[in-house]
């Protein structure tokens, strides 16, 4: 496993294809779709669950042929830190690269080995062997805190494509979970991302993000 850091701060032309409640963006020949949190498998604290639903996103990116990126972002502003990342099944072959952003430091292999509270999800969340990562000690500071991100790049099984990955997320055969610590309450939560895309966080302000969270709670 190699670890590197890359910056994607250069402004690029964007073309959007609207998909249901979200969008796929074409950027320099790459497509991406963003998903938000819609389920807590732990439900330890209602306030912490609301923060997770409002602030935590994963952008699935068609980075290059045979590879797909999962960029995890905490848009803030409230205290929280993505400390562990888990994948359940799908067409992914294996973690190829972990791309740490400023302030984050992740390595392959999460502890605990399965998403906390995963047995309470419906269906139960079972992490695929080798498909996890967690922040290096000290865990909370090196996790994805407000304004930070980390990207996990997977290589795909022969013949599989970015479109196949999106289909599997939509159909629930590929699920993505995160363990979040560092809430001001002192608690932690296990979350699963929605199978339906949402507007990218850059497309709207905090009021819009909170509105998305309220919509998910109503669902």
pLDDT at 19: 35
Measured over the CA atoms of residue 66, residue 55, residue 177 and residue 212, the dihedral's sign is negative
For 159-218, the three-class secondary structure string (H helix, E strand, C coil) is CCCHHHHHHHHHHCCCEEEEEEECCCCCCCEEEEEEEEECCCHHHCCHHHHHHHHHHHHH
Biggest CA pair distance of the chain: 46
Q: How confident is the model at residue 131 (pLDDT cuts 50, 70, 90)?
A: very high
Strand partners, 4: 99
pTM of the predicted protein model: 0.81
Q: How confident is the model at residue 64 (pLDDT cuts 50, 70, 90)?
A: confident
Summarised one tens digit per residue, pLDDT across range 152-195 is 999 998 888 999 999 999 999 999 999 999 999 999 999 999 99
The residue extents of the domains of the chain are 15-218
């Amino acid at each position: 496993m190699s670890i590197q850091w890359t910056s994607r701060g250069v402004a690029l032309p964007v073309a959007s294809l609207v998909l249901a409640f979200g969008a796929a963006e074409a950027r320099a020949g790459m497509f991406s779709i963003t998903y938000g949190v819609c389920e807590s498998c732990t439900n330890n604290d209602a306030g912490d669950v609301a923060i997770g639903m409002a602030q935590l996103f994963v952008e699935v990116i068609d980075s290059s042929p045979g590879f797909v990126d999962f960029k995890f972002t905490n848009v803030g502003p409230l205290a929280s830190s993505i400390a562990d990342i888990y994948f359940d099944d799908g067409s992914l072959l294996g973690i190829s690269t972990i791309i740490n952003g400023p302030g984050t430091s992740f390595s392959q292999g999460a502890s605990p080995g399965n998403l906390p509270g995963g047995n309470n999800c419906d269906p139960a969340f079972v992490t695929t062997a080798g498909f996890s990562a967690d922040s290096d000690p000290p865990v909370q500071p090196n996790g994805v805190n407000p304004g930070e991100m980390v990207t996990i790049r997977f290589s795909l099984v022969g013949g599989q494509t970015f479109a196949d990955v999106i289909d599997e997320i939509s159909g629930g055969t590929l699920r993505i979970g995160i363990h979040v610590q560092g809430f001001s309450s002192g608690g932690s939560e296990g979350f699963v991302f929605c199978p339906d895309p949402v507007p990218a966080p850059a497309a709207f302000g905090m009021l819009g993000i909170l509105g998305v969270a309220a919509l998910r709670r109503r669902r």
